[in-house]
Amino acid sequence: MKISDLMKMGLRNLGRRKARTALTVVGIVIGTISIVVMISIGIGMNQSFRENLMQYGSFTVINMEKNQVSIDDKGNYSEKKQKLDDKLIAKLREIPHVKTVSPVITFAAKLKYGVYENTVQVNVMDSDSFEALEFPKLKDNKTYKKSTNRAKIKLWVGAEGFQGFYNPNSTSFQPKTVDPLKDRVTLTINEEESLPRDDKGNLKIQLKDYATDLAVFDTEGYSEYSFGVYMDMGQFLEIYKDFVKQLPADKRRIAEKKLKEYGGIKINADSVENVQDIQDTIKKMGYKSSSMSDYTQQIENFSKTIQMVLGGVGAISMLVAAISIANTMIMSIYERTKEIGVMKVLGCQIVDIKKLFLFEAAMMGLIGGVIGITLSYGASYLLNTFGGALGSALNMMGGGDEGAGGKLSVIPLWLPLLASGFAILIGIISGYYPASRATKISAIEAMKNE
């Protein structure tokens, strides 16, 4: 039997029993929608978790801290004090797949706007490494190019940190919002442990105010950049050495120690795949490090568990649909016993009879799968449009922020292709037993059947 004849006969047989075929297809549609939507929710959760983590840093960035805290597989915390200096930085730069290495010095400072001031922690780094470390874009088309103007300190800042300015001479706390793009702000080094004071707590030295040139991170929501303040290492060394010169000998040693050892080191890998290898190398060197990969592994495991649970719910619906197909095909055999006998008498091969019934079962799976996938896109749209509360709840389960953005349901291209193939496979598997049974019917007994 030609394939074209087999297909025509199969489609004609499905069309003769429209009601039964339609009901069976409905079962496949429901099963397909369940699987696609449930898996898409799991994918959406995983994507949302990743977007939330991206707010706190890039997946290719590795952090080393002077007091490095780490968590083992059992959830136990441990802390290790590490000596981070230029010798270590030189070694880190020699590690394969390391793209950028930048030391980090953190110092306390006061930002002043008129009578208002704000105490901040300034992160000092090599500004040439900012883009490689995937710092966010800047507003007003500003760049990460370091300043050559010694009269102004170049700062890269988050706008959220400029909402907490206050008047220290006021009896009531009235926060002042300062616009870093328009308002003139000065910077003063405010290293409390290094500042000499008299018995009344007054400063013995006159701290210098530096004019600033501010560039603002173009970020939304809350992240390490929303409140962060960053300065180039070269400019910091210039003003800090002037600051150290004003200090008495005992205080000067405390301040100079900040220049000999770093509070942290940021390393950028050339790809996400090489992050773990670099961390393993650092561990062999006797140091500890951390990266977003440490957290994503736990979250992805949680997400996979959710996907398996949701996919299992959809699989149950598909199992019911598979039973429906098997039942439909068995009933079809009983009704078409004489037809099967005629086919055998006319010389139709047994394998062709089996192919016919398998084709009919596969077609029901295909039709149901295509309709189910189409409706799944509609269900996904409705979930993303009206499922905000559910999305926030699932996001918080994974450690995200309440009300965080992101789609609740995400259907990648491979999912509908996989779902349609699975629907066809379910149809074929469900139809295999009925098809095998049809081939075993005796031609003589089938001709006698009324």
The answer to whether residues 231 and 62 touch, using CB atoms and an 8 Å cutoff, is: no
Contacts of residue 325, defined as CB under 8 A and 6 or more positions apart, other chains included, come to: 24, 27, 28, 361, 364, 365, 426, 427, 430, 431
What's residue 402's pLDDT? 44
pLDDT bracket for residue 272 (50, 70, 90): confident
Q: Given a cut of 50, is residue 405 above it in pLDDT?
A: no
CA distance 403 to 396: 9
Amino acid code (one letter) for 175: P
CA distance 92 to 98: 8
Look at residues 427, 416, 430 and name the one whose alpha carbon lies nearest to residue 364.
427
Beta-bridge mates of residue 153? 212
- The mean pLDDT value for 114-126 works out to 93
Using DSSP's 3-state secondary structure scheme, residue 123 falls into strand
List, in sequence order, the alpha helices (H) in 55-80: none
CA distance 101 to 13: 70
- When mean pLDDT is compared across 58-72, 77-91, 159-173, the lowest value belongs to 58-72
Number of H-type helices and E-type strands within the chain: 12, 11
The Cα-based distances of 25 to 7, 18, 21, 171, 323 in angstroms read 18, 10, 6, 75, 12
Contacts of residue 138, defined as CB under 8 A and 6 or more positions apart, other chains included, come to: 144, 156, 215, 216, 217, 218
**Residue 90: other Cβ atoms inside 10 A:** 10
DSSP 128: G
Beta-bridge mates of residue 124? 105, 231
Look at residues 314, 423, 411 and name the one whose alpha carbon lies nearest to residue 371.
423
Between 104 and 241, name the one with better pLDDT: 104
Burial class (CB in 10 A: 0-12, 13-18, 19+), 413: exposed
- When mean pLDDT is compared across 123-127, 284-288, 302-306, 317-321, the lowest value belongs to 302-306
CA distance 149 to 146: 9
- The mean pLDDT value for 398-426 works out to 74
**Tens digit of each residue's pLDDT (9 = 90 or more) over 74-91:** 666 777 889 999 999 999
What's residue 399's pLDDT? 47
**Tens digit of each residue's pLDDT (9 = 90 or more) over 208-241:** 899 999 999 998 777 788 889 999 999 999 889 8
DSSP 165: B
Tokens 């295909």 sit on residue = 366
Identify the helix (H) or strand (E) that includes residue 396: helix 388-397
**Residue 339: other Cβ atoms inside 10 A:** 17
Between 386 and 375, name the one with better pLDDT: 375
CA distance 97 to 295: 21
Tell me what percent of the chain is helix, strand and coil, each rounded to the nearest 5: 55, 15, 30
